[in-house]
Structure 1
Amino acid sequence: MRRFIGRQHELGVLRGVLDQVRAAMGAGGAPGQCVLIRGRRRVGKSSLVEEFLRQAEVPAVFYTAAGQSAEQELAELVEAVAGSTLPGGELFVEEAPGQWNAAFRLLAEVLPDDAPSVVVMDEVPYLMNRVDAFEGMLQRAWDRQLSRKPVLLLLIGSDLSMMEALNDYARPFHQRGREMVVGPLNPADIADMLGLPPAAAFDAALVTGGLPLICREWGAGQGMWDFLRTSLESPVSALLVSAERSLAAEFPPQAMGREVLRAIGSGERTFTNIARAAGGIAHTTLSRATELLIEKGVVAAELPVSMRPSKERRYRVADPYLRFWLAFVEPHMAEIERMRGDLTLERIRERWTAWRGRAVEPLVREALARLLPDGDLPAAPVIGGYWTRGNDVEIDLVGADREPVAKRLLFLGSIKWLERSPFDAHDLAALHRHRAALTDDPVPLVAVSRSGVKCQGLTATYGPDELVAAWRRPG
């Protein structure tokens, strides 16, 4: 069994909150603590909490909602508590609470008074949807009973907007819990988990999106093309099925959001082109669909960063794995299902370099945001890009003091992510031309290259090793 990799920061946060519960015992007041954990589906939230419980070794119950009726969900909670390590959990079977209010009161009774415990409620948005007044009942139970016990309550959910709403000012549970966002495994975690060098770890991050379920099917030290070949040959591989399952849970098949997402995933980035690719839908319909996708964190909408306002908004699929799946897998699922994944693999080979060159940009920007300041460049509150309507000027990296309209540009840079072509004098000359189109100031120039730099005149240069190291920095 592969060991648990990464998430040390998140585990440390949870251990710290449990320590606060432990320290507050006997000190008066309410020792209970609550954490709201959110993140996209299949990103490993539940596995993180399972690992935390394994390390914590305290009495705990882990309950997962399943989108059933309120009565069925309550029955599942009773069964989970009865089979948990909470002392007195068998009382749930004997008492058989028939209402959620009664279940919360009984849960508080079985929680120990003299030792910390943990209560986990997974897929909370299902309960918010199916159980009438769930948030109000939870708030009352927390204020009156649960928080008075030395308990850590973990509320987990994959619907990002609903989990954010749970802590909203106008909602009953406002400010009862602190928030934790669980993202995908980062390139450093992936390098450690799969035994890959930094450049290959970035490729793996773009294919798997850092989703643990997919990474677990990637053999240690295995090359990307071998992994893709194996995954495309199996109709039940995580690479093939994870995206469809996630989308089915968030968007019904008839939802226009699916068509819009498919258009963006195919490579369309502007509003007009997305509307055309989605079948010529009306702009009002497209606006609603894109707003939903952005609200759910599936799509990112970005403006160019410069010292002048711009309306040239561009859209991209925020999750690298979903972006890969929409571009290469979903359009050709029929041929994969008839065991011709070899055709799909060749199609990926043909388009991989060009697709990767743009797909890696958000990861590079995040790495630089983590890496800076260093000896060459200052910290940048914003690291984005710049483009014009006709794409005659495109700058991959724009470090600035704010976005989208900056008061000060801190650096400009180019990303060249090719195996056998280093950043050279021709690339530097192009970067100089694009800087001149954006500003007259001698803003520092930066190059990020997969295979090195062969020119002078840059303020800073970065490669895969430095970028992966950004995720290994403490804090």
Structure 2
Amino acid sequence: MQKFYNREKELKLLRKISQNLTTHKGQLSVMVGRRRVGKTRLLNEAFAGQDVKYLYFFISRKTESSLVNEFAAIIQNELGAKFFQPQSLKDIFEYLLDYAKTNPITVIVDEFQDIQRVNPSLFSDIQNLWDSSKQSSMMHLICCGSLYNMMTRIFKGKDEPLLNRDDRFFKIQPLKPTYIRSVIEDHGKFDAETMLNWWCLSGGIPKYLEWLANFASENDNIFEEVISDFSPFIKEGTHRLVEDFGSEHRIYFDILGAISQGNTSRSQIENYLGIGVGVHLEKLEEDFDSITKMRPITSKETSRDVRYSISDPFLKFWFRFIHANKSAVEMENYAYIRRHIARDFETYSGWELESLFEAILMESNQFGRIGGYWDSKGKNEIDIVAINDLDKKILIVEVKRNQQKYKEAKLIEKSHDLLKKLKLKNYEITYRGFSLDNLIEVMDEFVG
């Protein structure tokens, strides 16, 4: 098994909750994070080999009766309940809460939001059972899900039965740049170019880092392995998204494909596709957490000056180079796709360098606000503006792949309009050029 990176705080808290059940009784934790981010691995690390009895249930998209049979078999094997024959998922929860009155137990329910597809009334059943048993059952119930906004709605929506039933809410994020660096260093491959490539291909998603680590040991040219017959990356975008998007997946794929080709405003996307996409953009952002709205750092939340970006660096790469060449994928003409990457990746990764530096500044915890800036005409663009209001400092950054192309005088000139709009007096302003040439130095400076 691959080395486990980061998540120390989450591991410690999850174990503490489960180990104190005899004192605190029923505890409900919610864990959310996009697919492949390592939620299941984290839970396994937290409880496997520990002195804590735990059960793991996965809500796959089967009929309720199929899930009941599957879960009943787990209970019979793990708890020795040989004559337990439930008829519904409600019976499963009822039995476990009753069992927990005399035996501390941790119960993990993965892809919890998919109960909506199996039996929506189960949410109310769980609420009633939990409310009546929480004070007497020594259960740590962990509801885990990959659709952040759906999970948030289930536990925070004002008309939802499970409103505020959670005692802890864990949001599992991709690994930060320092941990990506650690993975690369552990495989003896670390340099600035490799760091940027692995950022573009993983965005810090542990599963992708694991794949890249395996490939790195086989070939110095990572794209020879990533774009090849047996590479899991080829179908990964489809596997990750089709199930979530359901019957409308084609329009969502078209929108993400349009964004990946540089159509970042709603009007550009609609012109590119020839259809209205307002409702779909809203769902991609709010329900699926697939895109991010970007506004100038000087704008209010209500500003209509919006650009859209694909949230996940890997999916950005996948739509730009793999999905865009789906005919070549069907013909298994991987050499053609590698030629496309050889032609365009240097320019593409130069743009992605900006998101990597932004992630580094976020990880530094030195700033309260980080974003970009462009004026109302889309001009005078500034790549990164990082503001520390406590210490009254502003960092204004131009990102170039090649440091020689950075011109500080030009950046200062472009910043006049930004500073006028920020209206921040007596702030110390620093202008910097970040590039692939000084990536390692910037990482050392900001995140050690």
- Taking the aligned partners of 2:331 and 2:393, their CA distance within structure 1 comes to 52
How many angstroms apart in 2 are the aligned matches of 1:280 and 1:269?
15
Q: TM-score, normalised by structure 1?
A: 0.83
1:418-468: per-residue Cα shift (whole Å, max 9, x none)?
A: 2xx3256x521221111123335773323323213xxxxxxxxxx335437
1:464 aligns with one of 440, 443, 447: 440
Residue 117 of structure 1: CA displacement? 2.3
8 A contact 1:39–1:158 mirrored in 2: yes
Which residue identity does 2:372 align to in structure 1?
G
Q: Counterpart of 1:99? A: 88
Q: Does 1:240 align with 2:227?
A: no
Tell me: CA distance 1:443–1:466, structure 2 relative to 1, closer, same or farther (3 Å).
Answer: closer
Higher helix residue share: 2
Residue matched to 1:376: none
2:208 aligns with 214
Of 36, 55, 63, the match for 2:30: 36
Pairwise CA RMSD: 2.8
Would you say 1:411 and 2:405 are equivalent positions?
Answer: no
Question: Alignment partner for residue 349 of structure 1, among 342, 345, 354?
Answer: 342
Q: What's the CA shift string for 1:166-196, capped at 9, x where partnerless?
A: 2123222122212111122232222222334
Letter of the structure 2 residue corresponding to residue 289 of structure 1: H
Asked if 2 retains the 8 angstrom alpha-carbon contact of 1:411 and 1:444, the reply is: yes
What is the identity, as a one-letter code, of the residue corresponding to 2:242? A
Q: Which 10-residue stretch deviates more, 165-174 or 11-20? A: 11-20
2:123/2:162 contact within 8 Å kept: yes
Alpha-carbon distance in 1 for matches of 2:384, 2:218: 29
Match of 1:9 in 2: 9
State whether residues 382 and 396 of structure 2, in contact with CA within 8 Å, keep that contact through their aligned partners in structure 1: yes
The aligned residue for residue 435 of structure 1 is: 415
Worse-superposed segment, 149-158 or 289-298: 149-158
Q: Which residue of 1 aligns with 2:311?
A: 318
Counterpart-to-counterpart distance in 2, 1:400 and 1:189: 24
The answer (yes or no) to whether the contact 2:76–2:84 under 8 Å persists in 1 is: no
On the 8 A contact 1:411/1:446 being kept in 2, the answer is no
SS of match in other structure, 2:163: coil
User: Is the Cα–Cα contact under 8 Å of residues 398 and 410 in structure 1 kept in the other structure?
Assistant: no
Which string of whole-angstrom CA distances, capped at 9 and with x for unpartnered residues, describes residues 94-134 of structure 1? 130113332222112333735x4211111111112211411
Q: Write the distance in 1 (CA, Å) between the matches of 2:388 and 2:442.
A: 23
Task: List structure 1 segments (4+ residues) > 4 angstroms apart after TM superposition.
Answer: 220-225, 307-310, 468-472
Paired residues of 1:416 and 1:423 also in contact (CA < 8 A): no
Would the alpha carbon gap of residues 465 and 301 (structure 1) be closer, same or farther in structure 2, given more than 3 Å must change? Answer: same
User: Equivalent residue for 1:165?
Assistant: 153
Q: Distance in 2 between matches of 1:219 and 1:448?
A: 27
Q: Deviations over 1:6-42 (max 9, x none)?
A: 3223222322333443xxx2x5xx5221111111112
Aligned mates of 1:389, 1:262 — CA distance in 2: 26
SS of 2:227's partner is helix
Alpha-carbon separation, structure 2, partners of 1:300 and 1:372: 21
C-alpha distance in structure 1 between counterparts of 2:443 and 2:20, whole Å:
35
Distance 1:152 1:101 in 2: 17
| Counterpart mapping for 1:380-459 below 5 A | 380-400=367-387, 410-418=393-401, 421-422=402-403, 427-439=407-419, 443-452=429-438
User: Kindly tell me: are residues 432 and 55 of structure 1, through their superposed partners in 2, closer, same or farther at Cα, counting changes over 3 Å?
Assistant: farther
Greater mean alpha carbon deviation, residues 307-316 or residues 43-52: 307-316
TM-score by length of 2: 0.87
Match of 1:130 in 2: 118
Quote the Cα distance in structure 1 between the aligned partners of 2:231 and 2:75.
Answer: 33
SS at match of 1:218: helix
Mapped to 2, the partners of 1:301 and 1:225 lie a distance apart of: 36
CA-CA distance at 1:152 after TM superposition? 1.5
Instruction: Show the counterpart of 1:188.
Output: 178
Counterpart residue type for residue 464 of structure 1: I
Q: 1:160 to 1:252 in 2, by over 3 A?
A: same
8 Å contact from structure 2 (residues 388, 394) kept in 1: no
Q: Cα offset for 1:222?
A: 5.0
Q: Is the 8 A contact 1:43 1:182 kept in 2?
A: yes
1:468 and 1:250, CA in 2 relative to 1: closer, same or farther beyond 3 A? farther
Q: C-alpha distance in 1, partners of 2:317/2:209?
A: 15
The equivalent residue for 2:225 is 230
Q: Higher mean Cα deviation, 245-254 or 296-305?
A: 245-254
Deviates more, 1:96-105 or 1:188-197: 188-197
> 1:51: how far off?
1.4
Distance 1:307 1:333, change over 3 A: closer
Q: Following the alignment from structure 2 to structure 1, what is the Cα–Cα distance between the partners of residues 96 and 447?
A: 40
Is 1:119 the counterpart of 2:107? The answer is yes
Q: What is the identity, as a one-letter code, of the residue corresponding to 2:384?
A: L
Q: Does the C-alpha gap of structure 1 residues 345 and 40 become closer, same or farther in structure 2, counting only changes over 3 Å?
A: same
Change (3 A) 1:337 1:53: same
Shift of residue 223, structure 1, vs aligned partner:
9.4
User: 1:390 offset after TM fit, Å?
Assistant: 4.3
Deviation at 1:60, TM superposition (A): 1.0
Deviates more, 1:10-19 or 1:312-321: 10-19
Equivalent positions of 1:359-378 (< 5 A) are 359-373=352-366
Identity of aligned residues (%): 21
Write the deviation string for residues 274-306 of structure 1: whole angstroms up to 9, x where unpaired: 1112x2113xxx110100000121000111012
Q: Match for residue 291 of structure 1?
A: 282
3-state SS of 2:211 partner = coil
Provide the rounded CA distance (Å) in 2 between the counterparts of 1:365 and 1:224: 30
Please list the CA deviations of residues 240-295 of structure 1 after superposition, one character each: whole Å capped at 9, or x if unmatched.
12211111111135443222122112221111111112x2113xxx1101000001
Residue 190 of structure 1 aligns with an amino acid whose one-letter code is: I
